[in-house]
Amino acid sequence: MMKLNEIARMIDLSCVQANSSISEIKEVAEFAIKYNCICTFALPAHTPLLVDLLKDYPEIKVGGVVGFPSGGSTTKAKVFEAKELLEMGVDELDMVINIAWLKSKQFELVKQDIRSVIETAGKTPVKVILECHHLSNEEIVKACELAAEEGVAFVKTGTGWAPTGATLDNVKLMKDAVGDKCEVKAAGGVRDLETLISMNKLGTTRFGIGIRTAKSIFENIKSESVNY
């Protein structure tokens, strides 16, 4: 049995599309407060607004996105962005892996890219976004192994900008690859409560979802607990 508040504490509410409006960001904050969601995200230019909206709710974290959404920024640019977001007051960082380096088997560059952001973050948790849609199963496993070696807090399926990302196969593959070295976050395809619960059974502990999906999920929970 899973309680409503337990589900909320696994949800990272995101408002990170290019056309996400200020009113939607405010809606995300209001929804997070209402249900006590664990974390919220906006694009970097709007992160200060989100921090301000949630300043009186320390139990609700604000996350920042690094190298988003392509992952193709230079490592130096990712480090600068991470520093700026930390100065804004974020509690977590979600960085996009350098997909081209990974696919080209430039593994030391991939590791250095991740390591540089982790070192900048200090005690702030870092999630590494793989963007699984663009990767083979072998590449997903390798990315998970590289990220886990560098000490990430989570590996994450996607940005939500690619056509797919969070699938049952992907999250199982990722969990099997990292074991207990780090956690798994699903984003980019979590559209309903059934999917969320199925992925949680496979070891996924965080879910990045947009406000409309969040409303649909919570409105479909008819009681304070869900059979699980």
Name which of 41, 48, 43 is nearest 18 in CA terms.
43
Catalytic residue among 61, 78, 127, 185: 185
Q: Which of 61, 127, 156, 175 is catalytic?
A: 156
- Choose, from 94, 127, 142, 175, the residue flagged as catalytic: 94
Cβ atoms 202, 178 nearer than 8 A = no
Print the SS3 string covering the chain: CEEHHHHHCCEEEEECCCCCCHHHHHHHHHHHHHHCCCEEEECHHHHHHHHHHCCCCCCCEEEEEECCCCCCCCHHHHHHHHHHHHHHCCCEEEEECCHHHHHCCCHHHHHHHHHHHHHHHCCCCEEEECCHHHCCHHHHHHHHHHHHHCCCCEEECCCCCCCCCCCHHHHHHHHHHHCCCCEEEEECCCCCHHHHHHHHHCCEEEEEEEHHHHHHHHHCCCCCEECC
Task: Count CB atoms within 10 A of the CB of residue 18.
Answer: 7
Told to judge if 76 belongs to the known catalytic residues of this protein, a careful annotator would answer no
First vs last Cα of the chain: how many Å apart? 5
185 part of the active site:
yes
**Which residues are the active-site residues?**
94, 156, 185
